[in-house]
Amino acid sequence: MKVAVLDDYQHVALSHPAWATLAPDIEVVPFHEHLPPDELADRLAPFDAAVAMRERTPLPGTLLARLPRLRLIVTAGMANASIDLAAARERGITVCGTAARGSATVELTWALILSLVRAVPAADAALRSGIWQTGSRPGADLADATLGVLGVGRLGSRVAAVGQAFGMRVVAWSANLTAERAAETGVERVTFDELLSTSDIVTVHLRLSERTRGLLGARELALMKAGAYLVNTSRGPIVDEAALLAALSAGRLAGAGLDVYDVEPLPADHPLLHAPNTVLTPHLGYVSRGTFDVFFRDIVEDIAAFHAGEPVRVL
């Protein structure tokens, strides 16, 4: 059995000790670079199984049709919108998942927020070039500011709790947010437009769906307070990139912290790389030692169970 581990950007996949427990007739090959569909189809042709690191590489039906040998896909996490499950089922490909941790994404959200409001990257760059505060602006305060949380699920509720610890007023909205859930998490339930118009920081923690795609467009960004910040560690297409670029260029928003994008990896010539007042990270939300420990432990279990004819965590 030949297994490909896709998008091992940091060359860490095979460092986990669990791989050593696989049967000797299972060969594991990491792919360190992100491959376009045609090249990926050629490279994956001799493999029986593919491991997807979250949604770094889409596996649509058109690609699966070009991989007649593929029998198993293992995705990190128990959901992956980039895998065509119906096409996999039709072709007899088993798809399995893993457990996950949410703490890393919550922590990165606050890393982006704090970097934005205190201008940490700019201050670091200035100091290294010999500038001591000169020309810099005072940072914003979190205490008594309003944090707007879009989505109060497993991640959003924990982001809200940190905001409360900072002494922030925390307001929240999602299409399914009930008064009971708001009370349980200690947030103030408001309308979508009210959240945008009253929040000093808006942070996105919604699943990407047809309902949330483009949720924050030109109208919505115009509703945000002048000088507010936007943070997105969820999925890029929830925010209209063109509208966000326009709002940043016009100076309406104080800044944006982004970990996710419409196209990933982000192209080298993408205008966001030159947008003012931004802190950008390359989809690091789940990239942590603890998260990878869970992912690779379960990935190896999934491969071993399939190899033994008894698949587990089947999606």
Cα→Cα distances 114→106, 140, 263, Å: 13, 9, 25
Dihedral-angle region of residue 255 (phi above 0 means left; psi in -120 to 50 means alpha; beta otherwise): left
Tokens of residue 87, six digits: 């096409």
Q: Which position among 205, 283, 301, 307 bears the catalytic label?
A: 283
Instruction: Catalytic residue, from 54, 205, 235, 307: name it.
Output: 235
Q: Is 137 a catalytic residue?
A: no
User: Is-contact 110 162, C-beta < 8 A?
Assistant: yes
Q: For residue 92, which amino acid is it?
A: G
By the 8 A CB rule, do 299 and 76 touch?
Answer: yes
Within a 13 Å sphere around the CA of 210, how many CA atoms are in the beta-carbon half?
Answer: 0
d(CA 123, CA 119) in angstroms, rounded, equals: 6
Pairing of strands 146-150, 169-173: parallel
133-139-142 Cα angle (round to 5): 155
Residue 301, H or E segment? helix 289-307
* Known catalytic residue at 158: no
> Cα-flanking dihedrals φ and ψ of residue 198, to 5°?
-115, -10
Told to judge if 307 belongs to the known catalytic residues of this protein, a careful annotator would answer: no
Residues with catalytic function: 235, 264, 283
